[in-house]
Structure 1
Amino acid sequence: MKRLYILAFGLFLTSSLAFAQGGYKVGTKVADFTLKNTQDQQMSLGQFKDSKAVVVVFTSKNCPYAKLYDGRLQTLATTYADRGVRFLFVNPAIGLEEGGDTIKTMADKIDTSISDMTYLLDYQQKVSKQFGAVKTPEVFLLQSSADGFYLRYKGAIDDNPQVETLAKEHYLKNALDAVLAGRTITTTERRPTGCMIKKF
């Protein structure tokens, strides 16, 4: 009986580890997905196939860490828009079962003066699980190619969530510059700092 318990516990740990390491690996092709935006319209990744790159940002207006990065991400999105890069902000429905964000409440929290920002709601967390996102904010840089999108970088935005001016390593910006210049990305993955995405 004890042996069976140990075996079952071992299988549990193995499956938990596999889940924690799930999602796309850097260099792999990303499947298309469709989610609703704040205007209750369906939007898909495939709509942005003409972009040079797409940054998928898993974020939440309820997360203090995500709020700290709001300005930085909006600046990056605006700066790189003219260079063929599109940012998609995906809310993984944190706390939805406890009265969290809906399309309406999420829309109410968005700065309407930033008209070119695309916010999507991942109601059933299908996309966040597909990517293997575990925290907000967490970014995934996708490079466009003739046959779809490929993951080139994932993880943290930079190395200082608290104070923007003290950040020394700008992981996402460096990865974007490398992709657009056709160079190899030196840092392809960094563990993000943020709020855990509660799976349900």
Structure 2
Amino acid sequence: MKTIKLLALFVAVGALAAFTTATVAGYKVGDTATDFSLKNVDGKKVALKDYKNAKGYIVVFTCNHCPYAQAYEDRIIALDKKYSKQGYQVVAINPNNPEKQKEDSFEKMQERAKAKKYAFPYLLDEGQKVYPQYGATKTPHVYVLQKTAKGNVVKYIGAIDDNHEDEKAVTQKYVENAVDALLKGKEVSVTETKAIGCSIKA
């Protein structure tokens, strides 16, 4: 009888774990992402719907302190410079809890955006409500969204490219390839890769 009860307990815990994982798994390629409204470094709220003429978005979960995020910072700036004029707006979101990581406070975000002359919004995920919806786990973690009649459809999830250490050694530019394909009306060939970076500080 004990064995049966123990087995039942394991099954119940397993089912709960599976349910929990599914709940926080976030978006998959093909899902429609809901909009958000978050505070930008200029103090104003920003939502995806604000970009009336956008064809899509490059949503990047990133931050100040993470060395991986720092390594990719100039590449994120370059993505915005290249694609914002073509209709794909970069939207950077800091998902970290500033109480856990002081370098990711709103004030530090403002300093970073000013120092690096960000031309794109750098938003604070206050209350950490948006990143779990997406399923982001790292900084940086990228989601390429295509604006369609039914909403913003997720077309790519993962890393910016295949070499965080050396930009010159990159052989696969995942985000660029995805956006280029979408701009040409083609399917994205690589829709998901593993995001490499620091874990999000909840």
Same fold (TM over 0.5): yes
- TM-score, with length taken from structure 2: 0.89
- The answer to whether the 8 A contact 1:37-1:103 is kept is no
Work out which of the residue numbers 119, 130, 133 in structure 2 matches 1:130: 133
The corresponding residue for 1:54 is 57
RMSD: 1.9
CA distance in 2, matches of 1:187, 1:115: 28
**1:93 Cα deviation after fit:** 2.1
Are 2:195 and 1:172 aligned?
Answer: no
The answer to which of 169-178 and 6-15 deviates more is: 6-15
Going from structure 1 to structure 2, the CA distance change for 1:97 and 1:113 (only over 3 Å counts) comes to closer
- The answer to whether the 8 A contact 1:143-1:149 is kept is yes
- List per-residue Cα deviations over 1:69-112 (Å, max 9, x = no partner): 00111111101122112100000024534545332221012244
- TM-score, with length taken from structure 1: 0.90
Work out which of the residue numbers 39, 51, 66 in structure 2 matches 1:63: 66
Work out which of the residue numbers 30, 33, 41 in structure 2 matches 1:30: 33
SS in structure 2 at match of 1:187: coil
The answer to which of 28-37 and 111-120 deviates more is: 111-120
Q: In terms of Rg, which structure is larger?
A: 2
Going from structure 1 to structure 2, the CA distance change for 1:25 and 1:113 (only over 3 Å counts) comes to closer
CA distance in 2, matches of 1:150, 1:65: 27
CA distance in 2, matches of 1:29, 1:144: 9
SS in structure 2 at match of 1:96: coil
Work out which of the residue numbers 132, 150, 154 in structure 1 matches 2:153: 150
SS in structure 2 at match of 1:89: strand
- List per-residue Cα deviations over 1:124-153 (Å, max 9, x = no partner): 111101111111101000111234211111
CA distance in 1, matches of 2:152, 2:64: 27
Aligned residues: 198
The corresponding residue for 1:110 is 113
- The answer to whether the 8 A contact 2:98-2:105 is kept is no
CA distance in 1, matches of 2:148, 2:116: 32
SS in structure 1 at match of 2:70: helix
The corresponding residue for 1:2 is 6
Within 5 A, what are the aligned runs for 1:73-88? 73-88=76-91
The corresponding residue for 1:11 is 15
Identity %: 36
Amino acid at match of 2:27: Y
Going from structure 1 to structure 2, the CA distance change for 1:17 and 1:49 (only over 3 Å counts) comes to same
- List per-residue Cα deviations over 1:138-173 (Å, max 9, x = no partner): 100011123421111111111111111111111100
Amino acid at match of 2:15: L
SS in structure 2 at match of 1:178: helix
SS in structure 2 at match of 1:82: helix
SS in structure 2 at match of 1:46: helix
